[in-house]
Structure 1
């Protein structure tokens, strides 16, 4: 977090972080003098309690300090995200907690094709006549984010437009780790052959599986991450 002095210097600042019951934060820090217009970056460690539900939690930063008058206090709430436990064994992408997910037509579906606009109206994932029990069915533009915590080494999948679309649609698939695009497919249509994917993800913490439209029309852009799996043994 940053402590910034305005038009007057900040003197004798004591900065602390307040968290909900059960959370642990590191000790308060002091800043003897911060001259006007300058910023001091402070680092705190934050540990959630065991078994905390993944999602956002609001913490509060408090600074007690002197300026032109004594006894001033500045308080700023901000949100932090508690991550789910990272996988420790080989795990299908559809079995992980999704931190975020967006989709071009209804929600992305676990172990089903995208189907229509409902949450569970897809069909068996099918590419070139081959069926898959596991995977993610989505519709461009789609983005599914998972947390690996640096525990996994390789992501594998077969990708393509599901056979429920009869020969049309046009998309690309991408694997993005910690803001870096690791792999992007060629443009795939409903007539394209299935593309096998094997992407190293060693050390990656946040991975996004993205499907991007490759044409003006979004009709038929039902992409499958068929058998999508992170290898984490």
Structure 2
């Protein structure tokens, strides 16, 4: 791209659902818009997106393709690339540089990128993320309804998380992992909902035929589970 003739009202950094929604609104407002998309959306590991009215169950990459086409219908442009710097110019605009050396100028920036899911160092979590290692019951609870679910305690919110997931299945196990012991009131709440608590550090997941089958503890014990929840 030439630095001399590539100037937009807005450069959108990130071509996920948020960036494309912004690009669509801006293009409809008759602004010139460029979306720079690295092609690595946060929800890429998931097979389907849920609770999105009119597109329930749509594969995430398909949703983004639809979004790009809709934004393009109003004149928004999308390029594949990664922004490596954005420098404020004396006139108040920005000079945006991509990894391939391309330079664009924009009056405004819309930054819709940078969120990364940081998973704990437990063997197998990363490989199963978005498949049977999940985080949101409203996004994925229905798909694992009535199945054995394990909650990996990573914060003081773990008890609340376990109680929430109990809405989708009556077989919930809370792995205390490295969290401090819960209080008496929390144990009473868990017992009232039939949620078991397992002590001991979780070291990995057991997988067979590309399906999660259990959670492995430091002592070698394996607790059968078909889905694991991390926060």
Give the shorter-chain TM-score range. under 0.3
Structure richer in strand, relative to its length: 1
Q: From the CA coordinates, give the structure whose radius of gyration is larger.
A: 1
Normalised TM-score (structure 1):
0.23
Normalised TM-score (structure 2):
0.23
Structure richer in helix, relative to its length: 2
